[in-house]
Structure 1
Amino acid sequence: MTLVAFGTYDSAKHPRIGIVVDGLRERGADVRELNRPLGFSTAERVRMLQQPWRLPALGWRLLARWTALARDARALRRDEGEPDAVLVGYLGHFDVLLARRLFRRSAIVLDHLVFAGDTAEDRGAAGVRVRLLRALDRRAIASADIVLVDTEEHEAMLPEGARGVHVPVGARAEWFAARRPEPADDRPLSLVFFGLFTPLQGAVVIAEAIAAARAAGADFTATIVGTGQDHAAARAIAGDVEGVRWVDWVAPDALPALVAAHDVCLGIFGESGKALRVVPNKVYEGSAAGCAIVTSDTPPQRAALGDAAVLTPPGDAAALADAIADLSRDRSRVAELRAAASAASQRYRAAEIVAPLAARLRDLA
């Protein structure tokens, strides 16, 4: 089977599409990439969708990328014929419309990791803008023959008639390669969090928990990586806490090693509807890197990790502070959790997570 990964995605910033491509290749698929990255971050794209006056910048850049993609597609069809399937990468709400037009005889697969309306609502949008973005979601989904979603909860959000396939986010090979031997237990517990500081991530909850755990005498260090919507609020709470290091940015190729150098990777702790429906990339990546995982107790995260993680109630800073304090005192428990998370992560290697998609594509052949 020949497949084309198509669109304006950026797999360095958003690794999901890279994981799917890796997995399909490992399963023997011939995957070509027609990729012209748009160059906007997720936060910038969402901001544009929330603030219509910013859309011309998106429109002009999108037009330039689409012109190049159309040229690439014509060359591909001329030299190699029509592919069996076209995989439209993450944040492909507009790209899928172009793919449908360019590859009329191919199966179109949309990686719908993000529902635009749901994401905008999680970040504070409301009213007409959210309704328009939900309409965009419906249009994008209707343009695809197969729609990839990352959790069963997201699959339940698909419109009636959509052909959804549940493909967890997983982790790329470099995260598994970053694992380090179990460190000596004669040093403070080390925590790491990395993200975009969106509401679903619960960065303020993390900051409150870190401050409370330190005030209660817990012995630990923490590395907090990233910036975003809730960064200022989180730093106002825990910016001066002893042993906490704030890092605005880490290059994607350096992030696995940085995370693997810590004992515990913190997941998400928000309370929004979206926060209750996702398993964040950091949970898969942190477990692949050999960290113990502490994250919120939500149905998809419990299904993904179960007893291989410490799960605390969403939005509950006190419970998270208690979990941090308990682990700082019980290093044998940390070692158990690291081993359990590492074992669980084997289910989320690239070739494993794409098995349902590979089966669906075989059915179409």
Structure 2
Amino acid sequence: MKILYVAGREESYSRTRIVIRALEMRGHEVVKCLPPDKSFKHYPGLVLSALLKAPSCDVVLTGFYGQLLTPVIRLLTWKPIVFDMYITTYDTMVFDREKARPGSLKAKIYALSDWLSYKAANVSILDSNHVIAHFGEYARSSTSKLRRLFLAVDNTVIYPRERQQKHDGFLVHFHGEYIPFHGVKHIFQAAKLLENENVTFQIIGRGLTFEQDMALLKELNVQNVKILDPVPYAGLATHMAEADVCLGIFGDNMRAELVLTNKVNEAIGMAKPLITRRNAPVQELLQHKESVYLVDAASPRAIADAILELQRDEGLRQKIAENGHWRFLEHGTIQKLGEGLEAILYEVVSKKA
């Protein structure tokens, strides 16, 4: 199949890169319409390039930020379109960046952008059935043209490996942005509770709440947390390999109710026992104390208790790590992403024919 892939993010962007690789591994020809960077100024050129390239292709696949690209491309071609929605505008702007209140005019405009792109595409993709149902509610729309495809990560980088460095004690790893739904402040508070339990935390990242969270760390006078700068993806895997346990997200806002996140996939891809907050998307993929350890949102005590239980129970650690990795192999690799994308693309092409 010859696939026109149009996205507003450059080829080095993680989602763009693995989508292309997943399709090429399945033997498809991917014709790329991609910008050099994420600036919106490139969008007119992307649309023009898509107009010229679409006639020779079997199907169009739109990526981030398709809420702008997909409706315009629909006006220019009758080729079938699959929209890899991945992240909705409404959830990003209302619940993540908090640029509008639910029910406000701005929130309705954000919902409208998601709905228009959904209507323009033959099929759109989201990463959980929970988010698909949520889309139907806020967009007041049918969800018949939505398909679930779990997140995937680059398993040529993310895979189980031996520790490169030995360490004393029990090492707990977190990486990601300092943003509300990640709940880094709850990790710091949990660390304080475990200061005398031979537990060390390594936290990699920066972000919106970094200064606020650092102030909390100083106020609590936490002594068992190492703060590290962001690292390249390959270096991230090396840090994860050193850990006994990896952490997911712990925030209590609406955004945290709706996400699976790459860090969940990365932990199980590395065959590390994962602790993360309980939400519906995670529970579509993983099961408590079988392939993940789930805790209540925004609860430092629950995080601390989970770490202590896994520290003391090597058998449970190993079971969660092994079962989580099997779920990753079933759903989270580039190969599985390619299979899922291929099935959806063939679905729309066959219907169009």
Q: What range is the shorter-chain TM-score in? A: 0.7 to 0.9
Which of 332, 342, 349 is the matching residue for 1:358? 342
- Give the corresponding residue for 1:324: 307
User: Unpaired runs of 5+ in structure 2?
Assistant: none
Amino acid at match of 1:135: L
1:255 is aligned to 2:236: yes
Rounded to whole Å, the distance in 1 between the matches of 2:154 and 2:148 is: 18
Which of 121, 132, 147 is the matching residue for 1:144? 121
CA gap 1:266/1:136 in 2 versus in 1, 3 angstroms: same
Rounded to whole Å, the distance in 1 between the matches of 2:12 and 2:212 is: 28
Per-residue deviation, 1:304: 0.9
1:164 is aligned to 2:146: yes
Per-residue deviation, 1:205: 1.7
Rounded to whole Å, the distance in 2 between the matches of 1:208 and 1:243 is: 11
- Give the corresponding residue for 1:92: 66
Correspondence 1:1-365 to 2 at 5 A: 1-10=1-10, 12-13=12-13, 15-39=14-38, 61-63=39-41, 65-73=42-50, 76=53, 81-102=55-76, 104-122=77-95, 123-125=97-99, 126=101, 127-156=104-133, 157-158=135-136, 159-160=141-142, 162-177=144-159, 179-181=160-162, 187-214=168-195, 217-239=196-218, 240-306=221-287, 307-347=290-330, 348-363=332-347, 364-365=349-350
- Higher mean C-alpha deviation, range 129-138 or range 150-159: 129-138
CA gap 1:346/1:213 in 2 versus in 1, 3 angstroms: same
Per-residue deviation, 1:185: 8.6
> Quick check: 1:213–1:322 contact (8 Å CA) kept in 2?
no
> Quick check: 1:218–1:328 contact (8 Å CA) kept in 2?
no
Amino acid at match of 2:69: D
Report the TM-score, using the length of structure 2 for normalisation.
0.85
> Quick check: 2:164–2:238 contact (8 Å CA) kept in 1?
no
* Matched residue SS, 2:56: coil
Rounded to whole Å, the distance in 2 between the matches of 1:251 and 1:99 is: 34
CA gap 1:268/1:161 in 2 versus in 1, 3 angstroms: closer
- Higher mean C-alpha deviation, range 91-100 or range 300-309: 91-100
* Matched residue SS, 1:275: helix
Per-residue deviation, 1:162: 5.0
Per-residue deviation, 1:182: 6.4
Per-residue deviation, 1:263: 2.2
Rounded to whole Å, the distance in 2 between the matches of 1:18 and 1:305 is: 26
Per-residue deviation, 1:38: 3.8
Amino acid at match of 1:236: A
Per-residue deviation, 1:206: 1.7
Amino acid at match of 1:223: Q
> Quick check: 2:191–2:224 contact (8 Å CA) kept in 1?
no
Give the % identical residues: 22
Aligned residues: 335
User: Unpaired runs of 5+ in structure 1?
Assistant: 40-60
> Could you list the per-position Cα deviations for residues 87-139 of structure 1 after superposition, in whole angstroms to 9, with x for gaps in the alignment?
1113322122343244x132111111212122222233323332221222222
> Quick check: 2:85–2:125 contact (8 Å CA) kept in 1?
yes
Amino acid at match of 1:66: Y
* Matched residue SS, 2:237: helix
Rounded to whole Å, the distance in 1 between the matches of 2:106 and 2:51 is: 35
Rounded to whole Å, the distance in 1 between the matches of 2:254 and 2:284 is: 17
Per-residue deviation, 1:351: 2.2
Per-residue deviation, 1:279: 0.8
Per-residue deviation, 1:72: 3.4
Amino acid at match of 2:88: F
> Quick check: 1:180–1:261 contact (8 Å CA) kept in 2?
no
Rounded to whole Å, the distance in 1 between the matches of 2:188 and 2:78 is: 51
CA gap 1:208/1:278 in 2 versus in 1, 3 angstroms: same
- Higher mean C-alpha deviation, range 68-77 or range 270-279: 68-77
Rounded to whole Å, the distance in 2 between the matches of 1:323 and 1:134 is: 37
Report the TM-score, using the length of structure 1 for normalisation.
0.83
Amino acid at match of 1:121: V
Rounded to whole Å, the distance in 2 between the matches of 1:261 and 1:182 is: 5
> Could you list the per-position Cα deviations for residues 315-363 of structure 1 after superposition, in whole angstroms to 9, with x for gaps in the alignment?
2221011112222333443333322222221011122234343223223
CA gap 1:101/1:321 in 2 versus in 1, 3 angstroms: same
> Could you list the per-position Cα deviations for residues 22-41 of structure 1 after superposition, in whole angstroms to 9, with x for gaps in the alignment?
332222322222210443xx
CA gap 1:293/1:231 in 2 versus in 1, 3 angstroms: same
Per-residue deviation, 1:285: 1.2
> Quick check: 2:129–2:281 contact (8 Å CA) kept in 1?
yes
- Higher mean C-alpha deviation, range 311-320 or range 198-207: 198-207
* Matched residue SS, 2:158: helix
- Give the corresponding residue for 1:49: none
Rounded to whole Å, the distance in 1 between the matches of 2:144 and 2:40 is: 26
